[in-house]
Amino acid sequence: MNDVGSALSRPIPLTMPLVLTLGIFLADGLAPSGIAVSVLYVIPLLLTFFSDRERAPVVVCTAATALLWADLAFNPADAPPYALVNRTLGTGVLWLIAWLLDRHKRATSSLETAEIGHHKVLEAMKAERADTQGLLTAAQEARAYAETAVMGALAGRRQAEERYLITQLRLEGIIQAAMDAILTLDDGQCIVMFNHAAERMFGCSRADALGQPLDRFIPARFREAHRRHVEIFGGSGVTARKMGALGTVTGLKAGGEEFPVEASISQVAVEGKRFYTVILRDLTERRRMEEQLRRTERIAELGTVASGMAHEIGTPMNVILGRAEYLLDRVREEPVRKGLQTIIVQVERITRVMNQLLAFTRRKPPMRGPLDLKPVVENTVEMFHERLAKTHTSLELNLAPLCPAVWADADQISQVLINLIMNALHAMPEQGTLRIGLEPRTGHVALSVSDTGQGIPTEIVGRIFEPFFTTKEFGKGTGLGLTVVKGIVDEHQGSITVQSEPGKGTTFTILLPKASDGGNALSPA
């Protein structure tokens, strides 16, 4: 049965129904016209059911119809009247069967096509599913690799960020701890970095300085030249210029005060942008030390000169003075006596100048100890009562009743007071007010001497402590009094300041450190 079923399931070639159709045609030609041989054409037509060709029923039916009517055409005389009817009916039956078989084959073909398409779709879906599964697996593997790479990158980035942060903190610490002012400028010469030393140097906070142009810290008369210099340096290709190579530059504090600075500059390009780093060093203290050194050298030279002068001039002056005094006692003519008195006055003046020079250059070491300044002030003022009354100068003493002792030399402090009082009286030749004050301050005692005289011009206030500098008329001052005063105050680790307004007077204020036991105030005398 299996063999029969497998034989029936095999497709029949189209030639078999066609050969059978031809055999029936031959049989129809031999048979009498009245016999309905056309019914036999149904057999080959039905065999097309097993053919694998979709149009086989139509082909076989067409061939059978042609042969059926061809036989009638070859023997028209022998055909009985009903033969035409038989063949017509047979033809209709054949085409009906052919039509049914054709529709069946079309439906079967459509089903097979649909099944094949469905199978292909299933295969495509399976393939797509397999591809999808493969892609999913690959994606999962790629994701795993990516996650591993990302974790590694994050770890590396974290380490790099930590190293960068450590480097930044170290660099920031170095910059902020630097003694010199460090500024960084962008292409527009605006400040993008401002360290602590710069804040102290310019008296400006970092928050106020950032984003501001550098011109803010340069005097107006130098700004254009400085900006042009930086632009030329930026295009020169030179990466740095050492400290001092730019010479002395003038800076401007936030309060408007100008001061000398020494500068170095460097440049670097970062991501197409140019940045300049400027290092500034305040020369104010150095200039002060250099000036002090020059003054010390001048004083040393002056000491050498004074020593020679005291020997070369002092002895002849003593001889002249002695002779003039001897003659003055024996001469009675008034013109001669006036001439001798003039000689004596001038010789005494020369001797006094020489003594001041020697006192200035060979000042003896101070004998310091706890000193109550109130008796020193009162005793010194006592020497000037006659002079004060003669010039109609009033005296005001503002001495604090309880004032700590200072660590000082009484003779030298008295010399300081004498010089300051003499200067005050010279500033008030006819009348005025002399004020002397004494008051305690934190860690110091303040001694002040004020007058209501003509004052000191502002442009020369800074020079009054220079040796031989004087504002008095020729012959009335040596220019050493205030120099001696400042030297004594400096030796006592104190300070002296002057405030003067032309036409209104001058005030000298001396601060002397309290004695080690100066915490116990001395009782007023």
Whether the CB-CB separation of 452 and 491 falls below 8 Å is answered with: no
At residue 71, φ and ψ (nearest 5 deg) are: -65, -40
d(CA 179, CA 170): 16
Q: Are residues 418 and 508 in the same domain?
A: yes
Task: Cite the DSSP H helix spans in 373-429.
Answer: 373-382, 385-390, 410-427
Residue 23 covered by a domain: yes
- What is the pLDDT at residue 522? 41
Query: Range of 302's domain?
Result: 287-360
Q: Are residues 69 and 185 in the same domain?
A: no
Residue 2 covered by a domain: no
Burial code (b: 16+ CB inside 10 Å, e: under 16) for 311-347 equals eeeeeebeeebeebeeeeeeeeeeeeeeebeebbeeb
3-state secondary structure of 355: helix
Q: Are residues 347 and 393 in the same domain?
A: no
Residue 223 covered by a domain: yes
Terminal alpha carbon distance of the chain? 156
DSSP labels, 322-338: HHHHHHHHH---HHHHH
Residue 164 covered by a domain: no
Total tally of structural domains belonging to the chain: 4
Q: 172-183: per-residue pLDDT in tens?
A: 778 777 788 888
Q: Are residues 388 and 320 in the same domain?
A: no
Residue 159 covered by a domain: no
Residue 524 has pLDDT above 50, yes or no: no
Residue 220 covered by a domain: yes
Band of the pLDDT at 19, cuts 50, 70, 90?
Answer: confident
Q: Are residues 401 and 374 in the same domain?
A: yes
Residue 167 covered by a domain: no
| pTM (global) more than 0.75 | no
As a whole number of Å, the CA-based R_g of the chain is 65
Q: Are residues 270 and 301 in the same domain?
A: no
Helix, strand, coil percentages in the chain from 3-state DSSP, rounded to 5: 60, 20, 25
Q: Are residues 493 and 395 in the same domain?
A: yes
CATH code where residue 316 lies = 1.10.287
Take residue 227 and report the two structure tokens written for it: 């900006």
> How far from chain centre, in Å, is Cα 192?
4
CATH code where residue 485 lies = 3.30.565.10
Compare 362 and 261 and report the one with higher pLDDT.
261
Mean per-residue pLDDT, 80-96: 70
Whether the CB-CB separation of 261 and 281 falls below 8 Å is answered with: yes
Q: 346-386: per-residue pLDDT in tens?
A: 877 777 667 666 666 655 666 788 999 999 998 888 888 87
Mean per-residue pLDDT, 468-476: 57
Q: Are residues 279 and 331 in the same domain?
A: no
104, containing H or E segment: helix 81-177
Range among 85-89, 157-161, 333-337, 468-472 with highest mean pLDDT value: 333-337
Mean per-residue pLDDT, 75-103: 69
**In which residue are the tokens 């008095």 written?**
472
- What is the pLDDT at residue 450? 92
Q: Are residues 405 and 385 in the same domain?
A: yes
CATH code where residue 224 lies = 3.30.450.20
Residue 1 covered by a domain: no
